[in-house]
Amino acid sequence: MKERLAAYDREIEYCSYCPKMCRFSCPVARITCSEASTPTGKMTILKLARDGAMDFSQEVAELMYQCSGCLVSRTYCEHRIEVIGAFEAARAIAVEKGLAAKRVLEFGQLWTRFGNPYGNNLSFKLKELSLGKNLEKKPALIFAGCTMTHYFPDTIKDLFLVLDLLGFEYEIFTEDHICCGYPLFATGHWKIFEEHKKWLAEKISGYQTIISACPTCVYFLKTFYQKPGLVDAEQIQHTTEFMEARLDRINLKAGVAKKIVYHDPCHLGRYLGVYDAPRKILDKVTRNGFTEFAENREQAGCCGGGGGLPLAHPGIARGVSKSKLDEFKELGGEILATACPMCERMFARTGKERGVLVQDLTSLLAKNLA
């Protein structure tokens, strides 16, 4: 256990002895109202388990999954500690020891069988979406990702529409395993992920640019594939970055009159540092501008969809999402705009009974082409 956690000694020590000033910021702790759920609470328990002062039990393992990986606690930390790395390592220990919840352990089997977290043939769906496209080798690769393909195929169509309008040449990744591997890594299935990483790295190498509408995919491909040299792409971009750089070439109309409230996705914002590009797109497609949540940019709240939280603790995940939707309603929002398929999924599912309309920026842009 100590070997697995050694890379996070600094984080564990700093958090365990900290005066806990970040506890108010944790979206999970806001829902559970438990000190153990706070970033420092979990880190202290992990330290005690690491040092042999308490057992690394099923109860401790379950607690390590009470984190969406949002990084918002880092915003308020004087030392800029990122707690999620230690928790992900602890989850890997939990899976290796068979201490993770049954639903988490079974998730690894599901992913291995289907090559994605959703249990169906997503490659076939992508190939259907790509009918009529020239699939010859191109310098740019569109990596749709599993969540976008499963829940929002129309957004992928909208992306193709914009790319075609720009005359941009691209290839679509339609292999059997279209997942970047983040769901495996976040839930502790590191052995399965290592095998998948080797396979995927070979498949997506040789492109100048990789583009994805999923910020989680972009972050993960940059960090675990491009940075260590497994993938030789010159750049890996989120669609908002790609489109914002070409706004002067896209003829748009300011067609959206409804009140839009924009939500910063955690992976697009705090992980990738992309804040301005989505806002510049919204400025172009709205008649009266858009509204921000009280907590935005680096302080932005979480949708509750990251870090495997909906799998491990679905009630907590829904609670986190609901708290954001409560503010959305208080602001008089009519469209909740975001730039992440998991954020869109969480808000759409939690807000279904309340009639909340959630839209991805790619689709908003495509629907406002002049």
**How do residues 229-266 score in pLDDT, each as one tens digit?**
999 898 999 999 999 999 888 887 767 778 999 999 99
Within the chain, where are the H helices?
Answer: 2-5, 9-16, 27-32, 39-50, 58-64, 72-75, 84-97, 102-114, 122-129, 146-151, 153-166, 182-187, 190-203, 215-221, 239-244, 276-285, 309-312, 314-330, 341-350, 361-366
Q: What pLDDT, in 10s, does the model give residues 94-122?
A: 999 999 999 999 999 999 988 888 888 88
State which amino acid sits at residue 364. Answer: L
**Higher pLDDT pick, 161 / 251:** 161
- Please state the length of the chain: 370
For 79, residues 6+ apart whose C-beta sits below 8 A from its C-beta are: 14, 18
Structure letter (DSSP) for residue 250: S
| Residue from 360, 363, 324 nearest 339 by CA | 360
207 within 8 A of 140, measured Cβ to Cβ: yes
Q: Which element (helix H / strand E) includes 173?
A: none
0.85 exceeded by pTM? yes
Q: What domains lie within the chain, and their CATH numbers?
A: 2-100 (no CATH), 112-244 (3.40.50), 251-366 (3.40.50)
